[in-house]
Every structure is written in C-alpha cells, then in structure tokens.
Amino acid sequence: MGEFVTLETTDGIGTIRIDRPPMNPLNTQVQEELREAAHSAAGSTEVKAVIVYGGEKVFAAGADITEFTELSYQDMALRAGALSGAFDSIARIPQPVVAAITGYALGGGCELALACDWRVVADDAKLGQPEIRLGLIPGAGGTQRLARLVGPARAKDLIFSGRMVDAEEALRIGLADRVAPAAEVYATAQALVRPFVTGPSLALRAAKQAIDAGLSMDLASGLALESQLFASLFATDDRIEGTTAFVAKRKPTFTGR
C-alpha cells in the first residue's frame, strides 16, 4: 500500500504494519500512509478486526524530530490538524482495533497506541509522552486520549514529567490491557481480536460508536444515541440469528449482515 505502512488481511484480521527502520519514526509520509491504511481497513468487508503493529523490535519511537527543527509556527499551524487527523483515522476505524507494542511507544507512537481500542504491551516495552522535554506538548491526541484513559492526574504526571513507564506500570494504570513476552505480543493481539472475526460485525461497530461518541456527549445525549443504535440493529440478519439461536439453545452463526 505505502512505502512504510501496509495493510495485510489474513483470516479476517487486518494488520496495519509500520516498517521504517530502525525506530519507525512517524514522519509526514508515515502519517499519511497510516491514514490511507485506516481508511482501507474501515471500508473493507473482509477486515473484521485490526492490529496496529510496528514489528518485533519497536512499535514507534515518536515523531521524526528532524522535521520539527525546520518548521515555523506558521508551518505547524497549517500541518497540526493533519497530524492529529492521521491518528484520528485509526481511532475512527469502526472495527475493533488493538495495538501490538514492542520496544518503544513514545510521543507520537504512544498517541498512535492510544487511538486503538486496546494495547497489548511487551514485558520489556516502554511507553510515554516525552514532548515536554522538547519544549512541546503532545499534539496528536495525547493530552486528550491519555487523560480519558488513565485519568487527568496520571496523565499530567506522565505529560508534565515526560517520563517513560514500563509494562508493569502501564498495566497498573490502565495504559496497557495485556502484557506478554516480546516474542508473543503479536500472537496475543491476534488472540484478543480473533473472537470478533466471527462476531456480529454491525453490532460490534454500533457498540464502538456508542461508547466512543458517547464519551464526548452529556449523559442524555449518549443515552439517546445508544437507543438509536440499539433499535437500528433490529434491521440486521445477525440480530435475527442471535435471538433465534438463543431461544433454540444453539450457537449463533453470524454473517455480518
């Protein structure tokens, strides 16, 4: 698909693979290729779940700082929205998405992981938002998604200090959802999303939409959205199959329709 980012689908699981050795820096080209891969996955009927993966050694060590040294305020004012939007395209993939993290997920790498639904982290991985050490703040969702995930106090600790956290702390504070040996991270991510390959795809999409969109709404608006999405699923074949199978006391066979 791209020079540094590809989307490969096997048995219903699409893998968005970043491959820009040695540390997978997320320069402008990589960001745009991530956006393209996310749009392709979102629009595919074959992709039932997605893994974002940087390879066996590193997830992504952050933005390409060499680009920053040449940019003025005027330059970044024009580009900042596109930077955030590239990662937001990952968050907007309607299928379940898991980040498989090895090595480092720092700065933009951590923000990319935060855009996923879950994070499977190698037991020797390091995560963090070190932008403050450059006289900057996270600019691709870190201040917003991290605070929503681990709470504002912990987010301020990580962002104000710029420190890295290991896998144990990441799991304890909710930044990681699974910890596995580095060699088993990708397989663990596969195991996490594999049940969704044969699940009710439209209901899974509706559940993700209700949760993610509801977080930005007041409770009444979120409940209204939930009700609308709930009712809409009564138009699907999977709802008929699911309820019929339950009454018949058999396992449902979902078709994603």
- What SS3 state is found at 1? coil
Q: Which of 8, 70, 131, 241 is catalytic?
A: 131
Question: What sections of the chain are H helices per DSSP?
Answer: 28-42, 65-68, 73-91, 108-114, 142-150, 152-161, 167-173, 185-197, 201-214, 219-232, 237-248
**For this structure, is 111 an active site residue?**
yes
What token pair was written down for 134?
């450059």
Separation CA 126–CA 106 (nearest Å): 8
Nearest to 53 by CA among 121, 101, 105, 117: 101
Q: Which of 3, 111, 226, 241 is catalytic?
A: 111
Half-sphere exposure of residue 23: CA atoms within 13 angstroms, side-chain side: 14
Separation CA 127–CA 117 (nearest Å): 16
User: Which residues are catalytic, by number?
Assistant: 111, 131
